[in-house]
Structure 1
Amino acid sequence: MPIDAVVFDIGRVLIEWNPEAFFDARLGPERRKRLFAEVDLHGMNLGVDRGDDFRASVYGLAERHPEWSEEIRHWHDSWIEMASPEIPHSVRLMRALQARDIPVFALTNFGVGTFAVARQTYPFFDEFDRAFVSGDLRTIKPEPEIYAHLERDTGIAPERLLFTDDRPENIDAAAQRGWHTHLFTTPDTWAARLVAEGLLTPEEAK
């Protein structure tokens, strides 16, 4: 059955996302490991992805951990540095698909506030045919409801969607619904998959 639309994750697919590297550069690996062991930064970020207020979440966590308050506030004040740079080949693939009139959707675990910050840095965030953002929907991958939102709102049958994401659990959840899936590792392997599906030519996929 043909593919009618392509669905992209964003973090580690279209832009880099590496908070650990950000803090390694500022604190050194050992102190960063202490920070992440003592403070649940990723848990806080998951709440932001579910719709919690970005600044209030970060600054509230900093208040609860005064010994790390300056470091924690970087999660808000320097967030775009953790979510940089874009992955140019992936962005080219997105645009090449759209040049062929193939709809491209984003399905992403992203906060309302963080998505707004990223849009100011990455113009292609406004180029998706539709972006399904967990913070707006208040459900995250791999929960079934976020996939159901996309199916309902686009009206495209699961078996006509091709989805790429860097996390196996998110891919597995989509596959269970009948979506075609690709575990993202590099832009080159994703490009090869798009060519194999007949969605792009080798030249278009460069």
Structure 2
Amino acid sequence: MSQAPSAVVFDFGGVLVDWNPRYLYRKLLSNDAEVERFLSEVTTPEWNLEQDRGRPWSEAVATLTAQFPEHRELIVAYHERWAETIGGQIDGTVQILTELRDAGVALYGLTNWSAETFPIARERFEWLSWFKGIVVSGEEGLVKPDPRIYRVLEERYGVDLGRAVYIDDSPRNVVAASELGMTALHFTSPEELRHALGDLLP
């Protein structure tokens, strides 16, 4: 990037928020093997992604309980106890976010997240109010890495993608951002992110 970036765009889950359904299901199932089997065979990432795309949770639960009636209570828990899938914030990244805000950097969010559960995060994490704009997949009916959801940042908030830094823990989302001209960083740890951001931090 030859010019200073005009904005930094954050993914949330896995970057700023420690989200993992295992936090919930370790309370409900007897061992890690059962948890892994349930998450890979019943409440799969593909199933959850449809809620991120905008499918209502009521429909998602009804569809899956019809398919796996023996797991009804466990499936319902994913929705009704969703708040327990959040372990907390990722402190090191929140510290970086704080420094960027204090340095006057324009901050935006682009997240694959259900429109029904995102208000839980808004209520829990005060720093979500620091963003000039947040694009939530469940509100758009689009999920990353679809290029159209990145364009929402451009069209709605005037973000110049060619002068924006994008941070995500998903390699395929990073690739999609890079193909649109963003300086895309694959998040692996706050320490690596701090190094990658370099001169952006005071």
User: Per the alignment, in what secondary structure is the counterpart of residue 200 of structure 2?
Assistant: coil
Q: Does 1:152 align with 2:155?
A: yes
User: Per the alignment, in what secondary structure is the counterpart of residue 149 of structure 1?
Assistant: helix
The one-letter code of the counterpart of 1:42 is: P
The one-letter code of the counterpart of 1:200 is: L
> Aligned-pair distance for 1:30?
2.2
The two structures, once aligned, show a CA RMSD in angstroms of 1.7
Tell me whether 20-29 or 3-12 shows the greater mean CA deviation.
20-29
> Aligned-pair distance for 1:37?
4.1
> Aligned-pair distance for 1:42?
2.0
Counterpart in the other structure of 2:189:
186
User: Per the alignment, in what secondary structure is the counterpart of residue 10 of structure 1?
Assistant: coil
Residue 50 of structure 1 contacts residue 134 of structure 1 at CA under 8 Å; is this kept in 2? yes
Counterpart in the other structure of 1:79:
82
Counterpart in the other structure of 1:16:
18
> Aligned-pair distance for 1:170?
0.2
> Aligned-pair distance for 1:69?
0.9
TM-score for the superposition, normalised by structure 2:
0.91
Of 115, 119, 125, the match for 1:116: 119
Tell me whether 127-136 or 162-171 shows the greater mean CA deviation.
127-136
The one-letter code of the counterpart of 1:155 is: G
> Aligned-pair distance for 1:47?
1.1
Q: Does 1:170 align with 2:173?
A: yes
Residue 23 of structure 2 contacts residue 87 of structure 2 at CA under 8 Å; is this kept in 1? no
Counterpart in the other structure of 2:35:
32
Tell me whether 146-155 or 170-179 shows the greater mean CA deviation.
146-155
Where structure 1 has 5 or more consecutive residues not aligned to the other structure, the ranges are: 202-206
Map of 1:62-141 to 2, 5 A cutoff? 62-141=65-144
Tell me whether 22-31 or 47-56 shows the greater mean CA deviation.
22-31
Tell me whether 92-101 or 6-15 shows the greater mean CA deviation.
92-101
The one-letter code of the counterpart of 1:80 is: A
Distance 1:37 1:97, change over 3 A: closer
Residue 28 of structure 2 contacts residue 74 of structure 2 at CA under 8 Å; is this kept in 1? no
Equivalent-residue separation in structure 2 for 1:129 and 1:179 (angstroms): 18
> Aligned-pair distance for 1:176?
0.6
> Aligned-pair distance for 1:6?
0.2
> Aligned-pair distance for 1:104?
0.5
> Aligned-pair distance for 1:63?
4.1
Tell me whether 36-45 or 67-76 shows the greater mean CA deviation.
36-45
Counterpart in the other structure of 1:204:
none
Where structure 2 has 5 or more consecutive residues not aligned to the other structure, the ranges are: none
TM-score for the superposition, normalised by structure 1:
0.89
Counterpart in the other structure of 2:7:
5
List per-residue Cα deviations over 1:79-125 (Å, max 9, x = no partner). 12212211122112212212222111010000101101221222222
> Segments of 4+ in structure 1 off by > 6 A?
none
Counterpart in the other structure of 1:200:
201
Equivalent-residue separation in structure 1 for 2:175 and 2:41 (angstroms): 31
Tell me whether 124-133 or 166-175 shows the greater mean CA deviation.
124-133
Q: Across the two proteins, how many residue pairs are aligned to each other?
A: 199
Distance 1:59 1:91, change over 3 A: farther
Sequence identity, in percent?
A: 33
